[in-house]
Amino acid sequence: MADTDGVDIETFAGNCERYLLTLQQQGKSPHTLSAYRRDLLQLAEILRQRPSENGVRRQDLVAVLKKLSQQNLGERSLARKLSVWRQYCGWLVQQGIAVQDLAANIRAPKQPQRLPKALQQEPLNRMFDQSSDDDVLALRDQALFELLYGSGLRLSEAQGLDVADISLESGWVRVSNGKGGKQRQVPLTGKSMAAIQAYLPLRIAAADETALFTNRNGKRLGQRQIQKRLQEWSLKQGERHISPHMLRHSYASHLLQSSRDIRAVQELLGHSSLSTTQIYTKLDFDHLAKIYDETHPRAKRKK
């Protein structure tokens, strides 16, 4: 080591393979080891380009992170690299190679909020109306997809529904979101009720199976199966890709565009925090600002 603050660059770089061997002995996959090796070798290469008599120090790692950021590397990739550096630097301290954790308290770049796009209302509704297959699996899928969009259900919520959760007489569905066992009541659309009514008499069910949506063997339909069936359906309808979350996002966005009632949308989505709904639905802040200007007594703007 060069001093109490830094680690000699050759010592820092030369222990990478020892560290990777430790990870291999811990059962890390070849893919993970390859990714770790790539990130550590890249770090060592850049550090060698900026030699210092004080060795590798915390500010050097920060400078490398900044350099990679200026090369238009995505924030997700930067965060992953920093995670690898942190684990390696922590290991160096454990092995007595470094006195201080060089990567401690280095902040990862803020992750962008990535949400699926909301599908346009008219094309999406045309897609639902064009579905005309009448075999049991097609009817099941129609009822399932109508629920995902018509009631804004999460994939896990739709997959976990039982027949008893549906009340066609009252037009409501009881939803359990799996987060702390929370439940909520969500209204059914007329299209959803009609699709479920068409599907239920043909539903395949094994003995004692309570699931609303079942597979060919009468067992509860899996989440991966739902995603695959939706993908196949969207391709058949001429859309390249539709995911369950895209339908939920479309539900939220279309409701907000029509009602402008974010509290109602929050309740229907099952969000405990209003801020989650604001991000999720991509609020039209220009519209909100207009409402504020028109209604708040102290917000009148001079023309």
Report the catalytic residues.
154, 179, 245, 248, 271, 280
Alpha-carbon distance of 122 to 128, in angstroms, equals 10
Alpha-carbon distance of 244 to 249, in angstroms, equals 9
Q: What is the 3-state secondary structure (H, E, C) of 113-166?
A: CCCCCCCCHHHHHHHHHHCCCCCHHHHHHHHHHHHHHHCCCCHHHHHCCEHHHE
Please answer whether residues 36 and 15 qualify as being in contact, where contact means their C-beta atoms are separated by less than 8 angstroms: no
Alpha-carbon distance of 82 to 86, in angstroms, equals 6
| φ, ψ of residue 15 in degrees (nearest 5) | -95, 0
Using CB atoms within 10 A of its CB, is residue 94 exposed (0-12), middle (13-18) or buried (19+)?
Answer: exposed
Helix extents (H) in the chain: 9-14, 16-25, 30-48, 58-70, 75-94, 121-130, 136-150, 155-159, 190-199, 223-236, 244-259, 262-269, 274-280, 285-295
Nearest by Cα to 40 from 54, 59, 26, 21: 21
